[in-house]
Amino acid sequence: QLQLQESGPGLVKPSETLSLTCSVSGGSINSSGYYGAWVRQPPGKGLEWIGSIYYTGTTNYNPSLKSRVTISVDTSKNQFSLKLSSVTAADTAVYYCARQKVSRGWFDPWGQGTLVTVSS
C-alpha cells in the first residue's frame, strides 16, 4: 500500500525559504502515469494546488506561485521535495504531498500533512 509522509521545519521566518520533503513508501516514485504533487491548506481556508512533478523531472506549477516554487525529485531516495522562497504569513498552511494521476488529475493517496507557520 502506497504511503506518503511529509517532513520539514514547522516554523519558517518571513522572507526565508520553506523546504519540505515527501517520502514515498510501499511503492516506487518511478511509476509511469503518476506525478508527485504538493497541495496546501491555509488555516480556515480551502485547498490550493501548488505544483506537480513527474519522475523524469518534468514540472507543472500553479501560476500564482510559480515565481517562488521549485519542486524536485530524487528517485534514488524515493522522495520529492518542495521549496517555496520569500515566504510571508500568507504561506502559513498545512502542506500535503500526494500522488497524482497523470491522465485524469486526481490526487490519491495523500500524506497526513504538515503545518508550516511563517513567523519571526
Binder among 27, 48, 72, 78 for other proteins (CB under 8 A): 48
∠ Cα 72 42 48 (to 5°)? 55
Binder among 34, 38, 49, 54 for other proteins (CB under 8 A): 49
Indicate the pairing of strand 93-101 with strand 114-118.
Answer: antiparallel
Nearer Cβ to other proteins, position 13 or 115? 115
Nearest to 35 by CA among 108, 100, 107: 100
Nearer Cβ to other proteins, position 72 or 94? 94
The answer to the question of residue 42 lying near other proteins (CB under 8 A) is no
The pattern of x and - marking residues 78 through 117 that bind other proteins according to CB under 8 A reads ------------------x-x--x--xxxxxxxxxx----
Nearest to 70 by CA among 91, 51, 87: 51
List Cα–Cα distances, 55 to 35, 72, 91, 100, in angstroms: 7, 9, 26, 12
Give the residues lining the site for other proteins (CB under 8 A).
46-49, 60, 62-64, 96, 98, 101, 104-113
